[in-house]
Amino acid sequence: MTKLSVNINKLATLRNARGGSIPDILQAARDIESFGADGITVHPRPDERHIKYQDAKDLACVVRTEYNIEGNPIPAFTDLVMGIKPTQVTLVPDAEDAITSNAGWDTHTHKDFLKDVISNFQEAGIRTSIFLDPDPRMVEGAKATGTDRIELYTESFAKAYAQGKKEGIDPFIEAAQVAHECELGINAGHDLSLDNVRFFKENIPHLLEVSIGHALICESIYLGLENVVRMYKHRLGS
């Protein structure tokens, strides 16, 4: 079964645009879980422009499924995660001014750094995943870092699929095969949507989890949050 983790950053963006506490991030997480999601994802950034560090702490007392915290392992982020001890931490090499994630790790250049960070999280009982482009060489490098899983960065697939180029899935199939051979768990995320998630899931072997935020929240404006969560679960075959 491929699990659905819902990224609630965009709900926090909406709240922050006006100030106050509407929408209520904690209640949204509770509701999303009750609608059938298998997990909640947040990606706090240093400027706290959407999910705030305090949100991440407060959610730890609310989330009853899997809790995934994404981010660049700068000291403040590392301290946050170690204090919360979520189910999973996903390491993303974001620049501090990045609008959204736009590249995976170079697992060879940053091998020693990643090994140290991953080891510390694992010693605290936190499952680790690292954000990767669909490059078999980088997947092989991920194995050497000691990570538990990888998260395939799916923007290039989504763009190709929207243009009718289904061959855009091919690099992801190859990367997933290499990851499985390396005994790495496989997650995926970024620009997956109701339009493309079924095709992606059906073609990627051993896919454990997808993390979806922007598209899911946008689709919910028209279709309703409960309905959209259930639609994703159906497309994922669970």
Q: Read off the DSSP letter of residue 225.
A: H
Q: Read off the DSSP letter of residue 65.
A: S
**Reported confidence tier of residue 102, pLDDT bands at 50, 70, 90:** low
Query: How confident is the model at residue 96, as a pLDDT?
Result: 64
Query: How confident is the model at residue 97, as a pLDDT?
Result: 58
- Non-local (6+) Cβ contacts of 196 within 8 A are 157, 158, 161, 162
**Reported confidence tier of residue 94, pLDDT bands at 50, 70, 90:** confident
Active site (annotated) includes residue 234: no
**Reported confidence tier of residue 103, pLDDT bands at 50, 70, 90:** confident
Active site (annotated) includes residue 202: no
Nearest to 169, CA basis, from 188, 148, 150: 188
Give CATH for domain 3-235: 3.20.20.70
**Active-site pick, 33, 70, 209, 219:** 70
**Active-site pick, 33, 43, 66, 219:** 43
pLDDT, tens digit, 9 for 90 and up, residues 142-182:
999 999 999 999 999 999 999 999 999 999 999 999 999 99
User: Would you say residue 95 has pLDDT above 80?
Assistant: no
- CB-neighbour burial class of residue 232 (10 A; exposed 0-12, middle 13-18, buried 19+): buried
Active site (annotated) includes residue 110: no
pLDDT, tens digit, 9 for 90 and up, residues 13-49:
999 999 999 999 999 999 999 999 999 999 999 999 9
Query: How confident is the model at residue 34, as a pLDDT?
Result: 98
Contact in structure between 61 and 93 (CB atoms under 8 Å): no
pLDDT, tens digit, 9 for 90 and up, residues 173-210:
999 999 999 999 999 999 999 999 999 999 998 999 99
pTM of this structure: 0.95
User: Would you say residue 138 has pLDDT above 60?
Assistant: yes
Domain ranges of the chain: 3-235
**Active-site pick, 33, 66, 151, 190:** 190
Structure tokens, 143: 């194995």
User: Would you say residue 53 has pLDDT above 90?
Assistant: yes
- Beta-strand (E) ranges in the chain? 3-7, 39-42, 66-71, 88-91, 127-132, 149-153, 185-189, 207-212
